[in-house]
Structure 1
Amino acid sequence: MFQQDQQSLCGSQNTQQVVIDDTTLRDGEQSAGVAFSAEEKIHIARSLVELGVQELELGIPAMGAEECELIRSIVELKLGAKSLVWSRLNEADLTLAASTGVDMVDLSVPSSAQQLKNKIHKSEAWVLDQLVKLIPRALDYGLEVCIGCEDASRADADFLSRIAECAEKYGAKRLRYADTLGILEPFRCYESLKKLRQSSGLELEMHAHDDYGLATANTLAAVKAGASHINTTVNGLGERAGNAPLEECVFALKHLHALDLAIDTTKIPALSAFVQQASGRSVSSNKSVVGAMVFTHESGVHVDGLLKDQHNYQGLDPTELGRSHELVLGKHSGSALLKAAYESLGLRVSDDVTPILLGGLRKFSSSTKRSPTEQDLIRLYQQYSNSELAVG
């Protein structure tokens, strides 16, 4: 598998099948202070399906009747994506999950010694006994079953294998490997998922958190190890530092692993903007893929290279997002862009005046902390060229 994946990085077609199970509406909404309205949840669900996302984790039925009704209303829209809900490892939660009409339930299983002892105060044997009882019950309800191993990155590997063996024996379809605290790094993630892949016939799903900024990297490592499903959220929304961002995973798998998930990437910016507004969580201007300035260039060396051939400084084509490169003047700009900017205003800049104007531009940018407007450029020209405007 590792050799095949290495080949894909060099551009060969990767035939591995990977499904996005987006959890913006569940784990994304669990961000502190985030609360989507019913209309916002429905809009996000529709938009994700229009993107091409195949699975949606819609919420937590145990939150109450209102949450159950909203989940049910989304299911009844028949959007075309598989629907999941999250459930604790008990009969009451499972019954509520079944009442929503979803396709699959994620039975959450605290799997680390830390959580078994200090969170639920149960033993490993108790967990396995619950799986034996609840998986068949879920199947009787007509639900597919995903076993969500919470805190899997701190769990004993042998216990994870026993969970997977029990889950598969009693009819579960999938095992979710949750890096709940975001403490994995890609090399250990790869080895952990590879071991599970070799010992289990279950679908494997990676659920990564971004506490160390490695959620996307760990998701890619899990796919390399054989994960068939990945959890994502729009903009990386989620508890604490967030989850693996949908937009990053889509583009990284497509261009770095030659694995196209058939997502309409031109629709990502609009969905990103909507989730920012609905969640009250804006992304930074330099946020990968969806940040306002990720295709904005100022450096003279970079601008010169882009003007000659965009591939000189283009690792991600902005047209895939319905965007384009933007060249802006600033402290680090060079002569080529400065002249082009003045030419667009109908002003001729001679070679002897260019260094003087560049000096003025750098002073302006340092003092104002912004790019000049057209009027600013005219004032700079008048101030530093020591000549009247030469309008072409």
Structure 2
Amino acid sequence: MGEARKIEIMDTTLRDGEQTSGVSFAAQEKVSVVRLLLEELKVDRVEIASARVSEGEFQSVKKMAQWAHTHGYIDRLEVLGFVDGTTSLEWIVNAGCKVVNLLCKGSLKHCTYQLCKSQQEHLADVKNTIVHAQRMGLTVNLYLEDWSNGMRDSKEYVFRMMDGLKDEAVTRFMLPDTLGVLNPDETHLFCSEMIARYPKLHFDFHAHNDYDLAVANVYEAIKAGVKGVHVTVNGLGERAGNAPITSVVALIHDHMGLSTNVDESKLYSVSKVVESYSGVRIPNNKPVIGDNVFTQVAGVHADGDKKKNLYFNDLMPERFGRFREYALGKNAGRSNIIKNLEALGIELDDEATRKVTARIIELGDRKEIVNLDELPYIVSDVLKNGVENQDIKMLNYSLTLTDGLRPTATVKISIKGEIYQETAAGDGQYHAFSKAMYKIYKKLDKPAPELIDYVVVIPPGGKTNAYVQTVITWKFQDKVFKTRALDIDQTVAAIKATMKMLNMIESGNIPNMNYMRLP
């Protein structure tokens, strides 16, 4: 670790990551992700597919290869290929790619029971495939599949394979913990043995997260001297997934003092795009990119941050295109409130701050979640001017759901004292409500926001009559922000959240911090 070196990052979101149950990227989504990985994040290499999967996959790879050719990245696109004569190689060449990641057997059990071949037979097949790849103009990297179990159970097999392949035209030898079985001690030992025995070869390490040790194993592999590591965006991958790029990059930069080519500031935005494409939500406590990981909850922490940033660490949110927040709930103290008021540009005297703090703690005890968007409304309510100063008020609404007919909604609102009413049908009750509101706004020639996301959350331990929280993400004038509300009925909660949003826009009080620029 004493030598300063740069670690090569290979992202396999579009190959290994797409093996996540229920995940399938469309062709245009794949092109988009490749662009983001190479041009925004600046990863070194991208593994984009497995050969021979389907005709649809072939067409997707062709589109990615065409884009890569045009933009000078074709040598950084890699496709998994198999020891099948020239079948995989022809598939890859015909798709327009130039790099094959050849999958051979890295354990005696796989060779014996899956291939039903001797090691000598398999080694001969691998060498033959490498020769064909050279003739076809392909660069070859080589996976030793199930290498981790091979090192556990049959090191002699692994070393015989390496002895037979070390002088072949292989650019990188890739060491996968295929079943995610290794612990950090084993990872360091096995990688060290490979590097000591074959010091002139380039080794990559490929971790899986079955024991939640993928990032720790990457750490030990790099300590042992591997030159490259494999990751996925958001840790996507089969079973428990792969090592997430966000945690791995932060680990390399902060704990190892080594460098990568990855642009940290783009990690969050790229992660959100992949979240949208994959349909797999990022957990709120996911390191670096989770919604809550830069949120201080305890009041003592906010107080410490005011006093020489006592509760900061090296994971500064600004590195990743994010910002620090201070939670508003039952654990909030006066310092939390002041931090959030400062973010909104609101100044209160000590007595008003005390009252706002008491109200937020009261809401927290009732399991209500208070966020930065809602703080101005709480302040207004506490200071007895919230209701009177609402420019847009819901006077009445009616929702109708009839079997065999589309839901309908009739809404009656006032905007600065003027009353408006409209009726509309929709695909659901809230959709009907939204269309009725849109009719009013269209007649008034008022700009309407775009709904980006809609989430319903049931509090843990809730009963059938429990509140549900509806959280809606909006886009208005290039700003993205959220409003949320609680009610026993999720549609009613959504309507309340919508009214909050409309009053924010009407008053020009959209928070300046709680939004991100869309890519």
Matched residue, 1:300: 299
1:260 aligns with 2:283: no
8 Å CA contact retained: 1:181, 1:211: yes
> Deviation of residue 197 (structure 1)?
0.8
- The one-letter code matched in structure 2 to 1:160 is V
Query: What is the CA–CA distance in structure 2 between the aligned matches of 1:16 and 1:158, rounded to whole Å?
Result: 31
Tell me which of 175, 189, 193 is aligned to 1:177.
Answer: 175
SS at match of 1:242: coil
* Residues 314-323 or 34-43, more deviating: 314-323
Matched residue, 2:156: 158
> Deviation of residue 380 (structure 1)?
5.5
> Deviation of residue 88 (structure 1)?
1.7
> Deviation of residue 338 (structure 1)?
3.4
After TM superposition, list the pairs within 5 Å mapping 1:155-304 onto structure 2: 155=150, 156-200=154-198, 201-304=200-303
8 Å CA contact retained: 2:326, 2:340: no
Query: What is the CA–CA distance in structure 2 between the aligned matches of 1:70 and 1:295, rounded to whole Å?
Result: 37
Relative distance call for 1:80 and 1:331 in structure 2 (3 A) is farther
Matched residue, 2:7: 18
8 Å CA contact retained: 1:208, 1:215: yes
8 Å CA contact retained: 1:109, 1:147: yes
8 Å CA contact retained: 1:35, 1:279: yes
Matched residue, 2:123: 128
- The one-letter code matched in structure 2 to 1:170 is E
1:83 aligns with 2:77: yes
Query: What is the CA–CA distance in structure 1 between the aligned matches of 2:339 and 2:226, rounded to whole Å?
Result: 49
Tell me which of 62, 85, 94 is aligned to 2:52.
Answer: 62
Query: What is the CA–CA distance in structure 2 between the aligned matches of 1:83 and 1:360, rounded to whole Å?
Result: 55
TM-score relative to the length of structure 1: 0.87
> Deviation of residue 334 (structure 1)?
2.0
8 Å CA contact retained: 1:176, 1:204: yes
Query: What is the CA–CA distance in structure 1 between the aligned matches of 2:338 and 2:93, rounded to whole Å?
Result: 66
> Deviation of residue 41 (structure 1)?
0.3
* Residues 167-176 or 92-101, more deviating: 92-101
After TM superposition, list the pairs within 5 Å mapping 1:291-330 onto structure 2: 291-310=290-309, 312-330=311-329
Query: What is the CA–CA distance in structure 2 between the aligned matches of 1:282 and 1:340, rounded to whole Å?
Result: 29
After TM superposition, list the pairs within 5 Å mapping 1:326-341 onto structure 2: 326-339=325-338
- The one-letter code matched in structure 1 to 2:349 is R
1:144 aligns with 2:139: yes
Matched residue, 1:45: 34
Q: What is the CA deviation profile of residues 30-55 of structure 1, one whole-angstrom value per residue up to 9, with x for unaligned ones?
A: 11111111110000000111121121
Query: What is the CA–CA distance in structure 2 between the aligned matches of 1:83 and 1:341, rounded to whole Å?
Result: 45
Relative distance call for 1:350 and 1:340 in structure 2 (3 A) is farther
Query: What is the CA–CA distance in structure 2 between the aligned matches of 1:128 and 1:177, rounded to whole Å?
Result: 17
Matched residue, 2:348: 347
Greater fraction helix: 1
8 Å CA contact retained: 2:6, 2:259: no
Tell me which of 78, 84, 88 is aligned to 1:93.
Answer: 88
Query: What is the CA–CA distance in structure 2 between the aligned matches of 1:190 and 1:15, rounded to whole Å?
Result: 19
Q: What is the CA deviation profile of residues 276-310 of structure 1, one whole-angstrom value per residue up to 9, with x for unaligned ones?
A: 11111111111111111211112112111112233
Matched residue, 1:10: none
> Deviation of residue 166 (structure 1)?
1.7
> Deviation of residue 149 (structure 1)?
1.0
Query: What is the CA–CA distance in structure 2 between the aligned matches of 1:38 and 1:339, rounded to whole Å?
Result: 48
> Deviation of residue 341 (structure 1)?
5.3
Percentage of identical aligned residues: 29
> Deviation of residue 349 (structure 1)?
2.7
* Residues 118-127 or 257-266, more deviating: 118-127
8 Å CA contact retained: 1:108, 1:147: yes
Instruction: Show structure 1 runs of 5+ residues with no match.
Output: 8-13, 383-392
Query: What is the CA–CA distance in structure 1 between the aligned matches of 2:341 and 2:79, rounded to whole Å?
Result: 57
Matched residue, 1:390: none
- The one-letter code matched in structure 1 to 2:305 is L
Relative distance call for 1:119 and 1:135 in structure 2 (3 A) is same
8 Å CA contact retained: 1:146, 1:176: yes
Instruction: Show structure 2 runs of 5+ residues with no match.
Output: 385-519
Relative distance call for 1:312 and 1:80 in structure 2 (3 A) is farther
8 Å CA contact retained: 1:361, 1:380: no
> Deviation of residue 251 (structure 1)?
1.4
Query: What is the CA–CA distance in structure 1 between the aligned matches of 2:339 and 2:277, rounded to whole Å?
Result: 40
8 Å CA contact retained: 1:205, 1:231: yes
| RMSD between superposed Cα atoms in Å | 2.3
8 Å CA contact retained: 2:92, 2:98: no
Query: What is the CA–CA distance in structure 1 between the aligned matches of 2:20 and 2:112, rounded to whole Å?
Result: 26
Q: What is the CA deviation profile of residues 191-225 of structure 1, one whole-angstrom value per residue up to 9, with x for unaligned ones?
A: 11111111123210111111111111111211111
Tell me which of 102, 107, 111 is aligned to 1:112.
Answer: 107
> Deviation of residue 339 (structure 1)?
5.0
- The one-letter code matched in structure 2 to 1:70 is S
8 Å CA contact retained: 1:164, 1:202: no
Matched residue, 2:430: none
8 Å CA contact retained: 2:326, 2:339: no
Query: What is the CA–CA distance in structure 2 between the aligned matches of 1:186 and 1:347, rounded to whole Å?
Result: 52
> Deviation of residue 359 (structure 1)?
5.7
Report which of the two structures shows the higher radius of gyration computed on alpha carbons: 2
After TM superposition, list the pairs within 5 Å mapping 1:359-374 onto structure 2: 361-371=360-370, 373-374=374-375
- The one-letter code matched in structure 1 to 2:323 is S
SS at match of 1:87: strand
Greater fraction strand: 2
Relative distance call for 1:341 and 1:66 in structure 2 (3 A) is closer
Query: What is the CA–CA distance in structure 1 between the aligned matches of 2:340 and 2:321, rounded to whole Å?
Result: 24
Query: How many residue pairs align between the two structures?
Result: 369
8 Å CA contact retained: 2:27, 2:63: no
Relative distance call for 1:322 and 1:340 in structure 2 (3 A) is closer
Query: What is the CA–CA distance in structure 1 between the aligned matches of 2:254 and 2:62, rounded to whole Å?
Result: 37
> Deviation of residue 322 (structure 1)?
1.6
8 Å CA contact retained: 1:135, 1:167: no
Relative distance call for 1:23 and 1:359 in structure 2 (3 A) is same
